[in-house]
């Protein structure tokens, strides 16, 4: 079981939740953040910091759709992730957990086309040219993680999530997907401790649509997606988290 972790971008919103949450579970966490002068593009420095660690949790990068240019997104998110992959390989770290996003489905600009409810990881992704720059970088990063798993015999896990509630609103165009701080910590615990090997992209979130969304899920589907196969019941989340439950042992509340 991985207990000694290096976490990039640990001073952001997600890191501020994970550091105390995982520490309470007995994990020893070393932070690596630009706010402390640590640059993920410095592969040598990052490699040195990773020596002896059981796993790396990669949060660093531009955290959402912003006014940044495509070049800035690529540098921070894609090239940054590649640097982390190289550093893990250099230092012998074989498990890398990456914070991806439901944005890969087109959540950011509301162009998601569900094949069914709940939305599964094999849901067709929107055409690249229709996605916002942030969303596209998440897809590219997942691709590099999959390549790294094969090339370096690593386990690379991409967690597709929303900004934890209540730090972000529950949004209709994101299909009311949410994740509490408690469930976020649980998802990381599961990712670090699972026997799963290779590459996997996993939806993680709350098992039900939170009452703060103030919506009747079944009525909403009938109004907005009457022709889409619906396998949810009652207020069940429209985000399928069964893969994470089965393969990672994710056990949300």
Question: Residue 85 contacts by C-beta under 8 Å, 6 or more apart in sequence?
Answer: 96, 144, 145, 148, 152, 154, 156
Q: Model's pTM, two decimal places?
A: 0.96
Question: pLDDT over 90 for what percent of the chain?
Answer: 92
Structure token pair of residue 3 = 């207990």
Per-residue pLDDT band at 2 (split at 50, 70, 90): low
Residues, the chain: 253
pLDDT, one tens digit per residue, over 161-213 is: 998 988 988 999 999 999 999 999 999 999 999 999 999 999 999 999 999 99
Write out the CATH class of domain 4-248: alpha beta
pLDDT of residue 1: 56
Burial class (CB in 10 A: 0-12, 13-18, 19+), 237: buried
pLDDT, one tens digit per residue, over 151-160 is: 999 999 999 9
Average pLDDT over residues 6-30: 97
Average pLDDT, whole number, for the chain?
96
Q: Is the pLDDT of residue 93 over 90?
A: yes
């Amino acid at each position: 079981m991985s207990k000694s972790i290096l976490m990039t971008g640990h001073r952001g919103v997600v890191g501020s939740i994970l550091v105390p949450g995982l520490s309470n579970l007995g994990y020893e966490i070393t932070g690596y953040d630009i706010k402390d002068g640590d640059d993920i593009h410095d592969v040598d420095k990052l490699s040195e910091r990773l020596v002896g660690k059981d796993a790396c949790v990669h949060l660093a990068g531009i955290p959402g759709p912003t006014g940044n240019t495509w070049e800035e997104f690529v540098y921070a998110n894609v090239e940054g992730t590649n640097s982390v992959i190289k550093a893990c390989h250099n230092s012998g770290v074989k498990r890398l957990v990456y914070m991806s996003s439901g944005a890969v489905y087109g959540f950011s600009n509301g162009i998601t086309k569900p094949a069914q409810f709940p939305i599964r990881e094999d849901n067709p992704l929107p055409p690249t040219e229709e996605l916002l720059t942030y969303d596209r970088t998440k897809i590219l990063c997942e691709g590099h993680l999959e390549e790294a798993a094969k090339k370096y015999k690593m386990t690379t896990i991409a967690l597709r999530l929303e900004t934890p509630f209540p730090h972000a609103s529950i949004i209709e165009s994101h299909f009311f997907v949410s994740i509490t701080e408690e469930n976020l910590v649980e998802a990381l615990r599961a990712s670090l401790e699972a026997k799963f090997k290779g590459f996997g992209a996993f939806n993680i979130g709350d098992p039900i649509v939170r009452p703060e969304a103030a919506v009747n899920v079944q009525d909403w589907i009938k109004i907005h997606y009457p022709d889409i196969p619906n396998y949810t019941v009652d207020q069940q989340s429209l985000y399928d988290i069964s893969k994470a439950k089965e393969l990672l042992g994710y056990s949300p509340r």
